[in-house]
Amino acid sequence: MQPKMEFIDLRSDTVTKPTPEMRAAMAAAEVGDDVYGEDPTVNELEAVAALMTGKAAALFVASGTMGNVSAMMAHTQRGAEVICGYQSHVFRNEQGQLAQLCGVQAHPLPEAANGTLPLDLVAGAIQGDDQHHPITSVLALENTQNMCGGLPVGVDYMRAAGTLAHAHGLKLHVDGARLMNSTSPHNTEPAGAASPLERQKVTESASATSCAADTFNATAALNKRAPSTCSLRPCACASVPAARM
Ligand SMILES: Cc1ncc(COP(=O)(O)O)c(C=O)c1O
């Protein structure tokens, strides 16, 4: 009889499945009404995430895409512009959420070979103060940069990007679907990798857990956004149930 071939599926980290211990922990988790802040597991998860990333607060959302959409909506008003990479998830893989959900436009730039957005290109892409122009509001980065080979982006670059963004009044958003993976090659803690960011999205295994820091500001900003009509494909609509408050 042929021996059974063992293989490791390297197509994506998203093909991993929970171990029996993880399933047992999920089944035994304490639950409660999260709207009333009475879900102890969510509360603990948010507290741990805030602590790990050195942020004031964290917000549990059900998917990485939801974290990106929520952050973009919190940071922008209609007619704004978001600088991001051509290869970024927020630009390529979220059904055009910037236009479809947020009413803003992407200003995509080519990534360098190391997965970063060259800061001279970023500086050149920031719109001047002119009534004809969209208002550049966000610099959106990704760490690790998935479609550039999963490259980890270093803290020094993050700090420089944060300094540039803040000097021009922009918010810095980082899609941290794999932030934890980005820390080990650079020998940093998640809090170091997250330090320059207003909004930090961290997901474990991309589809399992995500959080955003400075939650209080995000919630306030979401509440301020003007409501608008919704004409979306059902899957996009269902993925952001609370975004238009
Ligand atoms: C960089 C990046 N951001 C966001 C996501 C979306 O995560 P989710 O599938 O949980 O919406 C992914 C998914 O793999 C990703 O690779």
Query: pLDDT tens track of the chain, all 245 residues?
Result: 778 888 888 888 889 899 999 999 999 999 999 999 999 999 999 999 889 888 888 999 999 999 999 999 999 999 999 999 999 999 999 999 999 999 999 999 999 999 999 999 999 999 999 999 999 999 999 999 999 999 999 989 999 999 999 999 999 999 998 888 888 766 666 655 555 554 445 543 322 222 222 222 223 222 333 333 222 222 222 222 222 22
Strands (DSSP E) contained in the chain are 58-61, 80-85, 105-109, 135-142, 171-176, 199-204, 209-213
Which residues are CB-neighbours of 44 under 8 A, at least 6 positions away?
none
Q: Domain 45-240: which topology? A: Aspartate Aminotransferase; domain 2 (3.40.640)
pLDDT tens figures, 118-133: 999 999 999 999 999 9
Query: With contact defined as beta carbons under 8 Å apart, do 208 and 62 qualify?
Result: no
CA distances from 169 to 31, 53, 157, 198, 206 (A): 40, 22, 18, 12, 30
Q: Verify whether ligand 1 is closer than 6 Å to residue 88 (CB atom).
A: no
In the chain, what are the domain boundaries?
45-240
Amino acid at 116: T
Q: Verify whether ligand 1 is closer than 6 Å to residue 146 (CB atom).
A: yes
CA 6 – ligand 1 centroid, Å: 28
46-82 core/surface letters (b: 16 or more CB in 10 A; e: else): beebbebbbbebbbbbebbbbbbbbbbbbbbeeebbb
Its pTM stands at: 0.78
The CA distance from 114 to 120, in Å, is 15
Query: With contact defined as beta carbons under 8 Å apart, do 200 and 212 qualify?
Result: yes
The CA distance from 46 to 115, in Å, is 29
Q: Verify whether ligand 1 is closer than 6 Å to residue 111 (CB atom).
A: no
Q: Verify whether ligand 1 is closer than 6 Å to residue 175 (CB atom).
A: yes
Q: Which two tokens stand for residue 3?
A: 């021996």
Please tell me the residue having the least CA distance from ligand 1 atom 9.
207
CA 146 – ligand 1 centroid, Å: 9
Q: Verify whether ligand 1 is closer than 6 Å to residue 173 (CB atom).
A: no
Phi, psi angles (nearest 5°) of residue 3:
-65, 145
The CA distance from 61 to 182, in Å, is 21
**Beta strands 58-61; 209-213: pairing state:** antiparallel
Q: Verify whether ligand 1 is closer than 6 Å to residue 177 (CB atom).
A: yes
Please tell me the residue having the least CA distance from ligand 1 atom 5.
64
Cα 72 from chain centre? 9
